[in-house]
Structure 1
Amino acid sequence: MKPHAKPPRWATTLLRWWGHPDTREEVEGDLLELYPHWVRTQGPRRANWRYALSALRLLRPFAQSKHVPDHQPFFVFHPDMIRNYVLVAWRNLTKNATYSFINLVGLALGMACSLLIGLWVYDELSYDRFVPNHEQVHYVRVNFSIRGGDTQTATATPGPLSDAIARDVPQVAMTTKLTWPSERLVRVGDKVAKETGQYASAGFFDVFALPAVEGNPKTALANPNQIVISQTLARCYFPSGKAVGQTLQFDNNKVFVVGAVLNDLPHNSTLRFDWLANFNAQEQVWQTEWGFNSVQTYLRLKPTATAQQAEAAMKGLFRRYTTFNNKEEIILQPLTDMHLWSTYENGVAVGGQVEYVRIFAVVALFILLIACINFMNLSTARSALRAKEVGVRKVVGAGRLALIGQYLSESMLMSLLGVVLALLLVWLTLPTFNAVFDKHLALDLTNPLYWLGIGGLVLLTGVLAGSYPALFLSGLRPIRILRGAGLSFGPGSAFRGPAQFRRLLVVVQFSLSIFLIIGMLAVGRQMTYLRTKHLGLDRTDVVYMRLEGTFNDYEKTEAFRQELLQRPSVASATTTAHLPLNIQSSTTDLHWAGQPAKQLVDVSAMSVGNDFIKTAGIQLLDGRDFRPNAIADTACYLVNEAAAKLMGMDKPVGQQITFWFGKGPIIGLMKDFHLGSLHQPIGPLVVAFMPPNVQYLLVKPRAGQAKQALADLERLTKQFNPNYPFAYHFLDEAYEKLYDREQQVSTLINYFGVLAILISCLGLFGLATFTAEQRTKEIGVRKVLGASVLAIVRLLSVDFVRLVLIALVLATPLAWWAVSTWLGTFAYKIDLGWWIFALAGLLALGIALLTVSFQSVKAALMNPVQSLRSE
């Protein structure tokens, strides 16, 4: 042995740092005397190992007794050690800047996506919870038995139902009924605008105890000549003083006195109004009859009552007030469920917006999991480079729990940095997010729930991302590591397990990404199908406008229509009570020969004016349309195929039915067209000829003359109805509004799906970079032996391609089930072809190859002289 042989610097440094001052010098002297002997007899490597173990055995009792209180776990919770954990973690992050940056960006993007989706989900779950004592408020729905034994749930209810419940059901404290939201022209001095509101019965503020800024809303609503307005309307029309006591005019004729001003309703409310007037101010005769489902009914239960008790007390209520023997059932829906649970099947709430809340909660978890997988992949990939550090720490006394604490502290630090960057990203993107999705989300950092959520996200991400690296690295055997064994990922290595686990993580990561790609493709195709499907009528370039003011007079409306038809740009025009693509009115006032005794059936109904079939482009399978201005046709009806099937009529034309305006013949059979969204199958429809009972004018321009037709329509409107602003819409727009929710979901899944793929590619890029670094010398040798660039790229890429293909096989059945479940909410949907899954696989494979090939080509083009210089 050379005379100057001595222990390595790391061993003597640790001995001096670790030992107690009273014993360190003595122990060090003894070990230095023994060290040359160990080198001669056992070799330098075993001598280093024996030197470290002897130092641990001799000095650890002193270190424990002086440095750590007896009641604490050694090396984990001591403040000095925690400070050391953070310091070492920070040094590792800065030392490996490239991988730290990839990890940080991936975690930040994943956490930002999760935070945005979390805000969206929290907002969706918070609807109507601002209403005082909202637990007692319920929405009234009615289940009707229809032909075939199925149950249909009506959203609208008869006008008299509210008062009947208040009289007959002792569990109910108060009821109210509302019309559907509508626009009215509001005028105060020179200020004129259309404002949206509702008519409500006097018990509204007993059911909804909404706070008022001015006045008493209960007494104001009870007076048919007073009105309740929102704070926004008060500021708009009465900016200089109090609004209570001021007057405003509706539709240039009805004058209301402002009786109260309410706080503005929050955005997360199913109630939508800026004004509220007494129901009696607009009540029609048909709204007092049991056969017309025309209003919304709400009630408040007594504090001691339950919804089940009230529903039991309502059984048979319809039979007390009607002559029908229908199996109707009144059901109560909690106010806070209305937004989330809007879809009913066979009388049971089965879904609605809650389905999308669940979907995006899962998407948020997927994206966060993908980001955490990036961290785990890169940490385990680089674990061989930190093996000696683990061995040294174990030699000097660090237990496995201490090492787990160290590596979890690193992941927690990364998670903390990630959430700071994520909060910045969320703050920057929230305005755009709110604009795209029509939301009012905000980072309310004064809310303790937000901090609780952020803290939980940091903890979840830190533990999820750092758990496997911590458990694996802390379990390495120091003897093998310090002897230089097991520092590769080959067979027999201590790192072979992590390499396999890393491949598994890549498979999981790309399985989630492929799942989202399939979702993006399927949802996009379904949205295209909704936009392009022929609905059974002509909606292209059809313009509609609401009839108001002068047009409330039927004769003036008809004169206006006839004048419009004289314009060469207009092909036809008609009037309707509802837009034909969104018929909201239903009735049980349909009877026919052979109908089961006293059985009610709920059918859609609409009154129309002249030229309805021609303007709407509906196909008549049999019979004729209503004759222009034919009074005799007011007792005649058109039915669709679904109505004919309901009544069991193969040849309905000429057969008698009893409907709104008495008994009369069916004069025409319409081919089925969609009455609402494609979520629901086409239901039975009866159309009556009643030109005075209409609300909309529909105009069909001639081909290529839509612009001129609009100009003619505007000019004539200002001539016939000068006191109202000209406003028009296209029927296509009204149809697309039926799918606002689906369109938002499609946009959300596209945005977050792309981000998930980007995060996956970040991790794959990091792994490809590390793999290229680890195999630099191998690549140099292969190039020297004649390997081409393509062969090198193929060598580095083939493993990743194999993993992506495995991910495709695993993701396909799960994605098929999830997409099929979502498509099942539509009565009319696309076929889920195999090519969607094949295209998703090709996209994922292409993205993976592009990500990996960048580093592969870079490594393949490297000069082999540089990589082999150290050999």
Structure 2
Amino acid sequence: MIKNYIKIAWRNIWKNKIFSAINIVGLSVGMAACIVIMLFVFYEKSFDSMHSKNIYRLNEVQKFEGMNASQKVALSMFPMGPTLQAEFPEIKNFTRIRWQQKFQITYQLKKIFSPQVFFVDSTFLRMFDFKLIRGDRATALLKPHSVLLTQETAKRIFGNEDPMGKTITHYGNDTTSYAVTGILADVPKNSQLQFDGLFSFNTVFNPRMFTNWGGNWLNTYLELAPGTDIKALEKKFPAYQKKYMGPGGVKAYELFLLSLKDVHANSADIGLDYINFQKFDQKLTNLFALIALIVLVIACINFINLSTARSAERAKEVGVRKSIGAQRFQLAIQFLGETVLLSLIALIFAIVLVSIALPYINNLSQRDLSLPIMNNVGLLGLVFLAAVFIGILSGIYPAVFLSSFQPVKVLKGSVETGRNKGSLRNVLVVGQFASAIILMIATIFVIKQLRFMQMRDPGFTREQVVTVPLNMVTTAQYKVLKQELLNSSLVQGVTASQDVLGSHLDQTGIEFKLGDSPLRQLTSTLLVVDHDYLNLYKIKLAMGRNFSSEKSALSREFIINEALAKELLKDHKGKPMSSLLGQRFGFDSTGVIIGIAKDFNFNSLHYKIETLFLFNQEAWGFNNISVKINGARAKEAISFIQSVWAKQLPEIPFEYQFLDDHFAEVYRVDSQVSAVVSILAVLIIIISCLGLFGLASYSAEKRIKEIGVRKVLGASVQNIVVLLSSHFIKLVVIANVIAWPVAFYAMNKWLQGFAYRINIDWWVFATAGIISIIIAFVTVSFQSVKAATANPVKSLRSE
């Protein structure tokens, strides 16, 4: 019996090649989209799943006077870990992490620069379950000057030598040696914590750290007892803060906890999150999953539409089978079998499509996604069952509908395909195109917003600016490097700073006094620069003067932005900004304000311009050098910079990045969202058009005699095309009416996440509507023209 069902199903699929192809292509594309997105979703949800303890990260809400708004940050203070454990029995353990990038490690004559290492407490491996291959988890980091290296890092340093017990040296501000006390397995890619080595934090302890309340420069993780009420614990924090930091601590800071398993995906609104690898908002992950599911549902809708539309062709088959004793459930199983077979064939094509698409998807998402179906029997079985389920889901309504025909009526030729069935098909077509139009509108707005952020004038120039990290470069070395670079026509300017524009800049406390008014203490963003910074970046001054190269390194001169100027004057209404020039300002109010810069977007356009001051203090040193190059000779300029670097700093590797590329990285997630939404929108349009094409083909086929009669009576090709297309065009128009308000609501809500955003223009909706109508018309017209140009003699021949 089952063999017979499969044989009949295959015959029906082969007999109706066009409709079968439409269903298979639609289902395979929908399945492929779903598989890829689900791979991404599962990968995202797997982050930090290797750890078994109940770990939470300590975070702060900083509410400083002088900042436009409070901000959530991932940072915390050095004394918080041990004092929290002492105060609250719910906290079983703690560990702190201080990260360091481009960390130099030397062994004998060999030197490497590790991308990132952590300084951690000895409790780190008691809380986190990173695999330790050699060494003792409990004691490996207990003593000062201990280090654990990953396998890859150990291989880079020692080659084939046994690393255990050997000594490596770090040359920085102080020369420090570390003994290798263990080897770790390489950190999995789905860990938010990525490091090449763990160094004992107690090596660098100093007494000042233990009383440094207010200094936020590390991450603190807490192991909580099982069943801890997080909200109840957080409510106890203000009393703790008051005890150790006084009333000001409660006013300026609010502490909150975030589960380790939520840190990767649920911390989009938390800034200064430096060691959260591949951080991605879970809301976007869920959105991708929802859209992929819609793609698959639309593919299933095609099957339902085409099956019910072609029901009259199967009516006599049902009548004959029922008249010879077939039961309704047997017929339903037969029709479901056809659907499942189609679904399984589609699955094969879907797997091929996924294999082809994965390299591109990995490049786009910067993930290492894979589909190990052949190596994983469980996954293969799951995918197979999913395909069977999709087949059943797609075919259950057509199976019930087709198996319900009464043999007496159908064998007399009086079967009704039903107005209700036509109404259902119309609703499904409208739903398909409404989804496609919503995504089309969303794609246009996402691309417009991304382009707006990329093209908007940030208030400074970033074209042809190359940034180079100054790892362990002294101020004296920088000055020599700068002078030699400026000797070439390939270089148009050189400056340096402690931070790169487009990154999170540090905040610090400052004091300000205007005339005889009381001294005011507030917080603002700080950017330490050399005297040529404003000139190279073409940051305009609203008033005052720029830094001078002749000034003493001991003098304290500051340039503030307009946002900070307004903040300083908010208690002095009526006073012009010029009154701030020459006023006492700085870390201890001994410096002076010499200029006010026009506001510029030193951060992402997701955020409003914050208060900022620039400080020219070479004695503090710089972390990055910015070189403005001759854009017409960019390759020569890079080669020249590299040669000067190799000459002056041969011991330090040369790394560079164009500032434009850095800002592209700032907007990387927005670019990924734009690309994914665009791809899924195209897939939905293609699948919807396939369904429309199938319905149009069937409609033209059913009305072939009517078309022949009309042509004989003088109807033109144009008349026939309009006749056959008008119904479908009406459905697309209705889909637009439904889609527009939904898209408007969704886009308006999405754009609220940007401090600087585009307007919601009416023409985008009109454009999407026109495009959808044109696509539908072209799709339907292909079959309509074919039917209209057919020879009426053939269509009017006898049965």
State if a TM-score over 0.5 links the two structures.
Answer: yes
Q: Report the CA distance between 1:453 and its aligned residue.
A: 5.0
Q: Report the CA distance between 1:130 and its aligned residue.
A: 1.6
CA distance in 1, matches of 2:46, 2:354: 20
With 683-692 and 260-269 compared, the bigger mean Cα shift is at 683-692
Per the alignment, residue 821 of structure 1 pairs with 749
Of residues 652, 655, 661, the one that matches 1:733 is 661
Q: Report the CA distance between 1:380 and its aligned residue.
A: 1.0
1:248 to 1:149, Cα distance in 2 relative to 1, 3 A: closer
Query: SS state of the match for residue 457, structure 2?
Result: coil
Of residues 656, 661, 682, the one that matches 2:609 is 682
1:284 to 1:561, Cα distance in 2 relative to 1, 3 A: farther
CA distance in 2, matches of 1:298, 1:247: 29
C-alpha RMSD of matched pairs (Å): 3.1
Per the alignment, residue 256 of structure 2 pairs with 331
* In the alignment, structure 1 residue 482 sits paired with structure 2 residue 401: no
Query: SS state of the match for residue 303, structure 1?
Result: coil
- 1:357-506 map, 5 Å: 357-445=285-373, 450=379, 453-454=382-383, 457-486=386-415, 493-506=416-429
**Identical columns (%):** 35
* In the alignment, structure 1 residue 605 sits paired with structure 2 residue 546: no
Query: SS state of the match for residue 631, structure 1?
Result: coil
Q: Report the CA distance between 1:220 and its aligned residue.
A: 4.0
Per the alignment, residue 539 of structure 2 pairs with 618
Q: Report the CA distance between 1:677 and its aligned residue.
A: 1.7
Check conservation: 1:146, 1:152, Cα contact below 8 A: no
* In the alignment, structure 1 residue 278 sits paired with structure 2 residue 203: no
Q: Report the CA distance between 1:509 and its aligned residue.
A: 0.9
Check conservation: 1:294, 1:585, Cα contact below 8 A: no
* In the alignment, structure 1 residue 520 sits paired with structure 2 residue 443: yes
Of residues 534, 540, 549, the one that matches 2:463 is 540
CA distance in 1, matches of 2:728, 2:428: 12
Q: Give 1:631's aligned amino acid.
A: S
Of residues 547, 551, 565, the one that matches 1:630 is 551
CA distance in 2, matches of 1:614, 1:324: 43
Query: SS state of the match for residue 625, structure 2?
Result: strand
Q: Report the CA distance between 1:705 and its aligned residue.
A: 5.1
CA distance in 2, matches of 1:346, 1:227: 29
Per the alignment, residue 62 of structure 1 pairs with none
1:149 to 1:608, Cα distance in 2 relative to 1, 3 A: closer
Question: Whose Rg is larger?
Answer: 1
Per the alignment, residue 260 of structure 1 pairs with 182
CA distance in 2, matches of 1:847, 1:307: 54
1:522 to 1:640, Cα distance in 2 relative to 1, 3 A: same
Q: Give 1:668's aligned amino acid.
A: G
Check conservation: 2:513, 2:589, Cα contact below 8 A: no
Task: Provide Cα deviations, 1:689-733, integer angstroms capped at 9, x if missing partner.
Answer: 222332011122356454454343222212210112222111111
Of residues 732, 735, 738, the one that matches 1:807 is 735
Query: SS state of the match for residue 638, structure 1?
Result: strand
1:197 to 1:345, Cα distance in 2 relative to 1, 3 A: closer
Per the alignment, residue 118 of structure 1 pairs with 38
Per the alignment, residue 92 of structure 1 pairs with 12
Structure 1 unaligned segments of length 5 or more: list them: 1-79, 487-492
Per the alignment, residue 196 of structure 1 pairs with 115
* In the alignment, structure 1 residue 356 sits paired with structure 2 residue 284: yes
Per the alignment, residue 708 of structure 2 pairs with 780
CA distance in 1, matches of 2:516, 2:783: 75
Q: Report the CA distance between 1:169 and its aligned residue.
A: 3.3
1:613 to 1:497, Cα distance in 2 relative to 1, 3 A: same
Check conservation: 1:390, 1:473, Cα contact below 8 A: yes
- 1:40-59 map, 5 Å: none
- 1:709-728 map, 5 Å: 709-728=637-656
Check conservation: 2:147, 2:198, Cα contact below 8 A: yes
Check conservation: 2:509, 2:587, Cα contact below 8 A: no
CA distance in 1, matches of 2:523, 2:186: 36
Structure 2 unaligned segments of length 5 or more: list them: 273-278, 571-575
Query: SS state of the match for residue 411, structure 1?
Result: helix
1:854 to 1:92, Cα distance in 2 relative to 1, 3 A: same
Of residues 813, 827, 839, the one that matches 2:767 is 839
CA distance in 1, matches of 2:223, 2:475: 41
Of residues 90, 94, 98, the one that matches 1:175 is 94
With 769-778 and 600-609 compared, the bigger mean Cα shift is at 600-609
Of residues 184, 188, 199, the one that matches 2:103 is 184
CA distance in 2, matches of 1:545, 1:364: 41
Q: Give 1:155's aligned amino acid.
A: A
Query: SS state of the match for residue 269, structure 2?
Result: strand
CA distance in 2, matches of 1:457, 1:645: 60
Q: Give 1:210's aligned amino acid.
A: F
1:437 to 1:152, Cα distance in 2 relative to 1, 3 A: closer
Task: Provide Cα deviations, 1:544-578, integer angstroms capped at 9, x if missing partner.
Answer: 111124x2x21221232233233333332221111
1:660 to 1:110, Cα distance in 2 relative to 1, 3 A: same
Check conservation: 1:196, 1:275, Cα contact below 8 A: no
Check conservation: 2:67, 2:611, Cα contact below 8 A: no
Q: Give 1:682's aligned amino acid.
A: I
Per the alignment, residue 322 of structure 1 pairs with 245
Per the alignment, residue 77 of structure 1 pairs with none
1:613 to 1:163, Cα distance in 2 relative to 1, 3 A: farther
- 1:228-307 map, 5 Å: 228-250=148-170, 255-279=177-201, 289-303=212-226, 305-307=228-230
Task: Provide Cα deviations, 1:745-793, integer angstroms capped at 9, x if missing partner.
Answer: 2121222222222112222222222222222222222222222222222
Q: Give 2:333's aligned amino acid.
A: G
Q: Give 1:697's aligned amino acid.
A: I
- 1:76-225 map, 5 Å: 80=1, 82-133=2-53, 135-144=54-63, 151-188=70-107, 193-202=112-121, 203-216=123-136, 219-225=139-145
Check conservation: 1:780, 1:864, Cα contact below 8 A: yes
Task: Provide Cα deviations, 1:415-450, integer angstroms capped at 9, x if missing partner.
Answer: 232223322322333233223321111224466874
- 1:747-762 map, 5 Å: 747-762=675-690
Check conservation: 2:511, 2:520, Cα contact below 8 A: no
CA distance in 2, matches of 1:590, 1:201: 34
Per the alignment, residue 855 of structure 1 pairs with 783
CA distance in 1, matches of 2:132, 2:508: 37
The count of corresponding residues between Structure 1 and Structure 2 is 779
Query: SS state of the match for residue 343, structure 1?
Result: coil
Q: Report the CA distance between 1:217 and its aligned residue.
A: 5.5
TM-score by length of 1: 0.83
* In the alignment, structure 1 residue 580 sits paired with structure 2 residue 501: yes
1:204 to 1:660, Cα distance in 2 relative to 1, 3 A: farther
Task: Provide Cα deviations, 1:170-190, integer angstroms capped at 9, x if missing partner.
Answer: 322222222345112445567
CA distance in 2, matches of 1:665, 1:765: 73
CA distance in 2, matches of 1:677, 1:631: 34
1:145 to 1:724, Cα distance in 2 relative to 1, 3 A: closer
Check conservation: 1:301, 1:307, Cα contact below 8 A: no
CA distance in 2, matches of 1:596, 1:411: 82
Of residues 686, 699, 714, the one that matches 1:771 is 699
CA distance in 2, matches of 1:653, 1:567: 39
Task: Provide Cα deviations, 1:772-820, integer angstroms capped at 9, x if missing partner.
Answer: 2222222222222222222222222222222111111111111122222
Check conservation: 1:537, 1:673, Cα contact below 8 A: yes
Query: SS state of the match for residue 194, structure 1?
Result: strand
Per the alignment, residue 276 of structure 2 pairs with none
Check conservation: 1:141, 1:333, Cα contact below 8 A: no
Of residues 340, 351, 373, the one that matches 2:265 is 340
